Amino acid sequence: MKYLEYTPLDRISDFLSHINLGERSVKGCLEAYSCKHTGTDKKLSLSLENEILGYLENSLDNNSSSPIEYLYCRSSQKTLIYLLLTLHQIYPDYNISAANAHQLFSEESWDSFKQVFDIYMFEASKEWLETNESSSLLATLYKALDEVVKVPECEIYGYNPDSDADPCEERGTIWSYHFLFYNKKLKRIVSFRFSCVSNLDLEDGISY
């Protein structure tokens, strides 16, 4: 996976890196990656593929009723591996495991993403309009994403780990969301992470 530089994404990430709302701060980061394997990606990809196959075989042996039918599709296996490799690029120390990994990702649509964004990024959007009156934060985000991964052609996934296993969970987190926009034809993924943290908890040194 190769990191791709796109100025429109960097502009939004820069804005979302310093939104202080008094008792809390909103943070966000956009990163684009090519799905081309580089460095240790091939070895890790093969390891994940073997782990998925082993998981499927084990499920068959145990007559598991787990909803894993789609993993029998080669295309679905590759998608899951790309999602996991993206997480590895973002969090190099993240302990990647393909076992039950499909349960960490939920298929989303632009409308379901927009609903989350409108609710949780409402204050950030107001801050954006104070200095960028030409267009809303969501409209600017859509344009930037569309430039990189063509939103109408994207598969959108929400990353939903247990809080104890969330690599992006930090002290004082109030809420956090992580979406991955994957264009299979372009072989690109954009990761969008945004969260809200308590400034009071950070000042008090409370650990979560």
pLDDT, average across residues 138-160: 96
pLDDT category of residue 61 using cuts at 50, 70 and 90? low
pLDDT category of residue 25 using cuts at 50, 70 and 90? very high
| Geometric angle at alpha carbon 146, from 2 and 11, rounded to 5° | 70
Would you list the domain boundaries of the chain? 2-204
Which pLDDT tens digit goes with each residue over 69-102? 556 677 888 888 899 889 888 888 777 676 667 6
Per-residue tokens: 86 = 């993206």
Instruction: Give 2-204's CATH code, choosing from 1.10.260.30, 3.20.20.70, 2.70.70.10, 3.40.1000.50.
Output: 3.40.1000.50
**DSSP 8-state class, residue 71:** G
CB 14 within 8 Å of CB 28: no
pLDDT at 131: 84
Compute CA 145 distance to the chain's CA centroid, rounded to the nearest angstrom. Answer: 13
Q: Is the pTM of this model over 0.75?
A: yes
Count of beta carbons in the 10 Å neighbourhood of residue 19: 19
